[in-house]
Amino acid sequence: MIFGWPRAAFGALCVLVGFAGGLAPGNARAAPSLVIDAATGVVLHAEEATRPWYPASLTKLMTAYVALRAVHEKRLTLDTALLVSVRASRMAPSKMGFRPGTEVTLENALKMIMVKSANDVSVTIAEGVSGSVENFAAEMNQVARALGMRQSNFVNPHGLHHEQHISSAQDMAILARALLAHFPEHAPLYGIGALRLGAQVIPTHNGLLGRYPGADGMKTGFVCASGFNVVASASRNGRRLVAVVMGSPNAKARTLKSMALFENAFAASSWGARPTLAQLPASQFTEPPNLRPQVCGPNRNRGADEDFAIPIAGMTNQDSGMEQSNAAFFSNQGMGASPALQALASGQLGPRPAFEPVPVYVGRAPGWSGVARQALTDEKPDPAIDNPPRRQRAAKRAGAKPAVVQAAKPAPRSAARPAANSTAKPAARPAPKPAAKPAAKPAPKPAAKPAASSTAKPAPKPPARPGLQAAPPPVAR
């Protein structure tokens, strides 16, 4: 039994929302999932929880922990300005797109990595806190060992794929508990629904926020090798649970699975004797699977966002071989009573709520006059790599003023070549030519040779008097 459901029924639910079989060869139950009580660490549900897995952007929870620890140790403050390096600006998306030399406060940077999952800002935090990505990764691993995270090894602060960048559902749950317990005053950071940067509104990737009653945050993550992951927290009746879901084939399946895990953990009347996080048995697997062919291959069932209404196929009744609807499946199992499970039954998450955006900005905090923290060393700028036009567009979105530079360029052009794109040329050239030629020719020649007033001789004489050709420019000006 899992949460009071027959194991077969729960397995059928897994197939229904697309996160069970087929994700890793040789193991139909490859996708890890875990639910714990945040206060005690008691495990309420665990599937492959200690199996090594690529964490993707769940990594940014550790980035936040190391940064907040540095604040607690007074190495810097939330108002400290961090300088975007060339290396940071070259990170792959998701990113803010800030140009090298841009300053952003640590507080704003943390909000950006939690909501936007910005990889460039994650590197900026790492370099500001520890001087380099490599030094910061060493701090991440030091913290992981101290917290008891046994499967984790971090090589970067953002989670972009690296063969040696590994964690597990168990370790992510340990980290989530530590963030909530050690830095409770920063818990709202993980539940921001949207940011506002200038005129730009940036929504969260967390599909649980605003949709599942009691959901209050944490972090999502995705790379092709890992599938769609999430660490989520939710509270009800004074009890907070943390769920970890890894390896989902798309964002919608990830959200639906998390809702199912939460709903049934909250509904359990008694938890009985259960293990704690530290007591979970080690996995038989020593290396994480690479899900790229399944998640990003030609036959993928992938959607980057729940709001694309990715259809979920009806359950196949294994006894009759007939397909039954989601609603019929849940009705037959007696699991369609709550609004959350009704959403599961319909396969529709509903519209994303309209969050009040939290404002963030680029630049220093008002009144802060310290020295900006930056990388100890940086990569060499290269216009061919750094793509200045794209940087300018990103800066404009961020509230900078590249338009000042752009406006200065047209002015010299218009002053230097006013006639090039105007109607002044046709008017200026015809006017001086007729005026100059008749005045020069008739004066000397009509008295001596009246017959020479033809058009045959004026042609050689104007070249002998180039001074007349200097008159048009003053007229044009």
- pLDDT for 107 equals 98
Domain that holds residue 268: 7-358
Which tokens sit at 319? 């006894």
Nearest to 23 by CA among 293, 310, 315: 293
Q: What is the CATH number of the domain that holds 179?
A: 3.40.710.10
One-letter amino acid for residue 33 of the chain: S
- pLDDT for 354 equals 80
> From edge to edge, which strands make up the β-sheet containing 200-203?
200-203, 194-197, 358-360
Specify if 374 maps to a domain.
no
Specify if 56 maps to a domain.
yes
- pLDDT for 268 equals 80
Which tokens sit at 375? 């990388």
Choosing from 33, 57, 152, 226, the catalytic residue is 57
> Is pLDDT larger for residue 256 or for residue 22?
256
In whole numbers, what is the pLDDT of the chain averaged over residues? Answer: 76
Nearest to 219 by CA among 350, 371, 83, 114: 114
Q: Compute CA distances 372 → 60, 84, 85, 113, 127, whole Å.
A: 22, 10, 12, 19, 11
Choosing from 33, 89, 94, 117, the catalytic residue is 117
> Taking a C-beta distance cutoff of 8 angstroms, is the pair 144, 152 a contact?
yes
Q: What are phi and psi of 363, to 5 degrees?
A: 115, -175
Say how far apart CA 334 and CA 345 lie, in whole Å. 11
- pLDDT for 351 equals 67
Active site residue 117: yes
Cβ-Cβ contacts under 8 Å for 276 (sequence gap 6 or more)? 40, 41, 42, 43
Q: Is the pLDDT of residue 47 over 90?
A: yes
- pLDDT for 187 equals 97
Say how far apart CA 462 and CA 111 lie, in whole Å. 75
Say how far apart CA 212 and CA 256 lie, in whole Å. 10
One-letter amino acid for residue 49 of the chain: A
Active site residue 167: no
- pLDDT for 413 equals 41
Specify if 327 maps to a domain.
yes
Rg (CA), the chain: 34
Specify if 189 maps to a domain.
yes
Specify if 372 maps to a domain.
no
Domains held by the chain: number: 1
Which tokens sit at 153? 């090894």
One-letter amino acid for residue 356 of the chain: E
Say how far apart CA 64 and CA 119 lie, in whole Å. 13
- pLDDT for 264 equals 87
Q: Please tell me the pTM assigned to this model.
A: 0.72
Which tokens sit at 372? 């900006």
Specify if 462 maps to a domain.
no
Specify if 67 maps to a domain.
yes
Q: Using one digit for the tens of pLDDT, what is the confidence trace for 358-372?
A: 999 999 999 999 999
CB count in 10 Å sphere of residue 245: 29
Active site residue 60: yes
62-66, 401-405, 409-413, 433-437: which is most confident: 62-66
Specify if 18 maps to a domain.
yes
> Is pLDDT larger for residue 190 or for residue 453?
190
Q: Using one digit for the tens of pLDDT, what is the confidence trace for 107-132?
A: 999 999 999 999 999 999 999 999 99
**If pLDDT is split at 50, 70 and 90, which confidence band does 341 have?**
low
Question: For the packed helices 119-130 and 106-115, what is the interaxial angle rounded to 10 degrees?
Answer: 140
